[in-house]
């Protein structure tokens, strides 16, 4: 389907998905995008790997195994430390700090150490939207919590010093957004009227004493660190079982990094798993229209703009040719 003909189709799909997402937020129904609703694979198909984990603010070391997606991972960590899974905001790899370059995404190196960041202080803040752009980059943990990954220097939000990288956005103007995906939250914030104040309810990660330092603005654009120190990685997929794979090739690393940058530029989100999926989809496609059709089939809920699809196709092609 030519890209120009996708627009009407995507708008219809987007409006129908908004209804589904509203039901998801209000009723606890599971989102199709993050693969919930599919039965977990049989125990004998789950990778027999053991990982070590700690709570980021301090704890003994726990051992976890037998998970195949992010939600199951959080449940395993919660069981190891006698917590409830909803207390976990996000995880970092090989550091207990709130380091956005080390976020656990769709891959875990086979020798990586997992640190779980749990809910800490709750706070409510009023923000005056003096500009269209707030200066926030949003991501989510794959299990219903959207949080702040980056704050742009000199932006509207940068002037509100109680807002920090790593803060979970719980409510916008009294509307609970737990269960919403990061792209939905980014869209809600973008659509807030200019020259008006709005209220955010936030939950910051619990901090150890040595983490009490001036807030970070998050990783710089293009600053995603390589995930995984082991010789292979465990790939956590939104749909289907986890698989053990070789470390990403140079082409994959460059293409995923570029697509992730484009996601932030166009949509105000960063999502390495989504970027990796898009690179996989586009690897063997012969032209942009074929790529656009494949994206519709694999990720139709996102309703990507045509310009973004063209740029992603170009980025994948550049990576194939070694042009960056």
Nearest-10 crossing angle of helices 272-282, 288-299: 130
Tokens describing residue 136: 């926030």
Q: What is the C-alpha to C-alpha distance for residues 279 and 215, in angstroms, rounded to an integer? A: 33
Q: Judge whether 69 and 242 are in contact, CB under 8 Å.
A: yes
pLDDT at position 303: 75
Count Cβ neighbours within 10 Å for each residue of 160-180 and write b for 16 or more, e otherwise.
Answer: beebbbbbbbbebeeeebebb
Quick one: the chain helix, strand, coil %, rounded to 5? Answer: 35, 25, 40
Residue 7 or residue 314, greater confidence: 314
Q: Which residues pair with 55 in a beta bridge?
A: 116
Instruction: Dump pLDDT digits (tens) for 143-184.
Output: 899 999 999 999 999 999 899 999 999 999 999 999 998 989
Instruction: Dump pLDDT digits (tens) for 108-117.
Output: 888 899 999 9
pLDDT at position 41: 58
Instruction: State which of 24-38, 223-237, 251-265 shows the largest mean pLDDT.
Output: 251-265
Q: Which residues pair with 203 in a beta bridge?
A: 122, 168
Confidence label for 239 from pLDDT (cuts 50, 70 and 90): low
Length of the chain equals 324
Least confident piece of the model among 144-148, 200-204, 209-213 = 209-213
């Amino acid at each position: 389907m030519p890209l120009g003909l996708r627009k009407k189709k995507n708008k219809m799909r987007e409006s129908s998905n908004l209804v589904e997402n509203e039901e998801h937020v209000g009723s606890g129904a599971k989102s199709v995008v993050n693969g919930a609703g599919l039965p977990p694979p049989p125990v004998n198909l789950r990778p027999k790997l053991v990982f070590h984990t700690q709570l980021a603010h301090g704890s003994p070391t726990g051992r976890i195994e037998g998970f195949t997606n992010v939600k199951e991972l959080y449940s395993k960590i919660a069981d190891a430390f006698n917590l409830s899974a909803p207390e976990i905001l996000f995880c970092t790899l090989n550091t207990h700090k709130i380091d956005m370059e080390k976020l656990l995404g769709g891959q875990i190196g086979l020798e990586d150490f997992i640190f779980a960041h749990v809910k800490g202080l709750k706070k409510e803040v009023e923000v005056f939207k003096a500009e269209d752009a707030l200066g926030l980059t949003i991501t989510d943990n794959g299990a219903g919590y959207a949080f702040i990954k980056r704050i742009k220097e000199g932006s509207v939000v940068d002037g509100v010093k109680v807002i920090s990288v790593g803060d979970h956005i719980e409510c916008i103007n009294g509307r609970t957004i737990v269960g919403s995906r990061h792209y939905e939250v980014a869209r809600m914030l973008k659509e807030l009227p200019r020259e008006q104040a709005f209220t955010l309810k936030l939950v910051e990660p619990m901090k150890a004493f040595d983490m009490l330092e001036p807030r970070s603005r998050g990783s710089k654009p293009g600053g995603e660190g390589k995930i995984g120190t082991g010789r292979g990685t465990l790939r956590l997929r939104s749909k289907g079982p986890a698989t053990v794979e070789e470390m990403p090739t140079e082409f994959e690393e460059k293409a995923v990094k570029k697509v992730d940058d484009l996601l932030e530029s166009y949509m105000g989100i960063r999502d390495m798993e989504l970027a990796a999926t898009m690179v996989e989809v586009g690897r063997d496609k012969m032209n942009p229209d074929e790529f656009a059709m494949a994206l519709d089939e694999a990720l139709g809920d996102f309703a990507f703009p045509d310009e973004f699809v063209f740029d992603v196709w170009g980025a994948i092609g550049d990576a194939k040719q070694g042009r960056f």
